[in-house]
Structure 1
Amino acid sequence: MRTLSSVLDKEVQQVSRPAGNTRLKAARLAAGYASQQALADALGVGVRQVRRWESDTPPWPHPEIAQALTRALGQDLESLGFISPAGVQPDHGRRAVLSATAAAVGLAAVPTQAIAMQPATASRDFQAITRSHRHLYWSVAPATLHPAVLAHAALGCALLPETAGQTRKLIAAALAETYLLAGRIEFFDLRDADRAQQTFLRALQAAGEADDPLLGAAILAHSAFIPGWTGDREAAVERMVAARTYARRRPASAELLAWLDAVEAECETRCGHTRTALHLIGHAESVLERGSEHESPEWLDWFSPVRLAAFKGNTQLKAGHLPQARTTLLGVLDRLGPSEDKQTTVVLGDLAAVEAAAGDPDAACRYALRALDQLERTWYAMGMDRVREVRRVLAPHQHEQCVRELDDRLYGWTTTVSALSR
């Protein structure tokens, strides 16, 4: 039977037992290394070494390992609980380097003394908001969503210098995706190509911080749309070469590789090279048919076989293959899901263009009016551009009743004010 004295003696021993290097353990967990083995693998050392560092008397690391350790955990050795032996000058510059690195890539400039390392959960929380914005893009008005996305990016810029290791990489990747979404809204929805160009640059810089070449490939391909839309084929091709180079640095899914073909095809179509574009689309179809063992990234939600068919229908239209374009686009319209309102307006606009080119203004106006109905529910600048292009083609028929009815809708108070305000 234990006496009260023996119980108290044991409790005192437990309280007085050294807790080890709690600073290093906390920094390890904050950087996303859930176990000692995970940190050991990242540094290329044995797990016994990490255990010694987390003991109550951690030995001072060798210079090469010390640099790797401070780089992985984002703090200098003294902040990590190490006591500098005589004759060794501690390195106080790691936090300053973190802040300077972020500032150098245009992300954030945080005063060194303000940096406090974030827990590993910060990356999950930040990613959750990024994921929500990605889903909201398909239903929320772009002018409403865009400020929220930019505010989230600003938060990511502030968090980045406060993290290290895996946590830093995860936040940087989510930040890159956030900037990519902002750039897409600016280019496709707000029609501000100059601003989108700068935003895509920030996205690419964040992807570099995350060392995520597939996300880098997606950003570069999006940036190719900008010169492609203005007919600058050389610049568009150069960016697509860079995008494909990045995509080769990691195992890429069939969907991502096919999308790269589709983007290049769109640029070639805009530059008047429809034969090259159709060849690229044919290659994309083959890539999708063969498939791949690699899964698509979660953020690749803007592409599917149906979207590829929409690219194809537009290229067939621009190539003058009207019967083929009509068949392709009608098939796309039947297969588009209820949540793909933005793409629906583009397809309806292309179908209107097919009928206008075929000399059927009544059918062209019917499709254009359906596109305007859809635009009233979900605004999309690309869809409105398609309708306006059709109206220009219908200029020889502007005195016909169907075209006048289209004008009444196209230049109504609501539509005109909405168009001018975006």
Structure 2
Amino acid sequence: MENERKHELFKRHPLLKNMANADAVFWENTKWQKKARTELFSMKEAEDAEETLKRFSSYLIVAFPELAKSGGLIESAIKEIPAMKEALEQEYHLLIAGRFLLKCDNTLPISGSIKARGGIYEVLKHAERLAIAHGKLKKEDDYAVLATEELRAFFQQYTIAVGSTGNLGLSIGIMGKKLGFNVVVHMSSDAKEWKKALLKEKGATVIEYEADYSVAVEQGRQEAEQDPLCHFIDDENSKDLFAGYAVAAKRLKVQCEKTNIIVDDAHPLFVYLPCGVGGGPGGVAYGLREIFGQHVHIFFAEPVASPCMTIGLMTGLHDAISVEDIGLDNKTEADGLAVGRASKFVGKVMEKYINGCYTVKDEELFTALRLALASEELFLEPSAHAGMFGPIQLMKNGQDYLEKHGLTEKMAQATHLVWATGGSMVPQEMREEYLKKA
């Protein structure tokens, strides 16, 4: 980006200067609307996704016996983590008013991260579409038939490709290979070695790049276009991925009702979602706003080196600006969040839906990792800990936001929900390496 344009952007958005210096910032989205609407996506698409997942439940129980308990449902619990709340309060010398909960997507079945939602859904939807089109399946059938050798042989004619920093590739690789597809995962330079190794072990083809996430996605997209039997799962633009993530919202509402968590005008819900290119947190955020309306306050969390969604939303430029344009290097230990350019589709939808974003330094991710293990015996990968910093940022730098929205007096009845996006599949040696850094 030429200096003149950069200077103009910094002048118009003073917070950009702090971000260019890799400072941790809290940004309020002033375009947020109480009754947000978008023509780019509809709740009907999320409801269709939920129905598709229900149809696949009998297959999933056969393919992954650990899902028998949940009736083939890929879902995670919510749990209160009071000891972590206390540890954060002591570490940062402040009070976090309200309840403090974790949405445990780090333990999601099959691939152990939030990507098990959107990634697995898009693979299943593609499999259903192919099987129906070729007379192998009807929607009224028992989908357990998909576990037969005949159907696996059928899917072996086809390829699924994706560009990924790691977790999305894992969910698609594991699910795709289980069905019988050929799977090609284009992985960026920041992807962890253990994720590449696990994918290869499952039988996926892994193509590695020296460049970052955007290049891996673009190369994957171009290669897939050359093969008519290849379906490319586009993390930057896929509505199917988005729909799979959005399903989480209605399920969360049921969980809240079962555990006595009230969400209304007097009991605000604050949700903190780690954000990379935007698909996962965007889909969840969309669903949450549709379900809980103005009573949910949603903040995206990004590393100081990779705040692509924050700068895209702040400037309104979305994918037309990258973190490199403001002088950042996009290098972070939070590998799932190491994205230099946000999804235009997600950014456009989120303009009126989310309440703001904040950034977090890598050292804070490791501080949270240490505290969570010591206080709750809880392990999350570093990128998932970006959510833990949300209540700290809100209490330290979001007082104007709370005042403006009439929330200050309601905070004692508030619920803070940190969305834990991954961690249960991290190998022991990698955990120990993270702990050394912590």
TM-score (norm 1): 0.29
Write 1 or 2 for the structure with the bigger share of strand. 2
TM-score (norm 2): 0.28
Asked which structure has the greater CA Rg, the reply is 1
Q: Which has the higher contact order (CA 8 A, sep 6+)?
A: 2
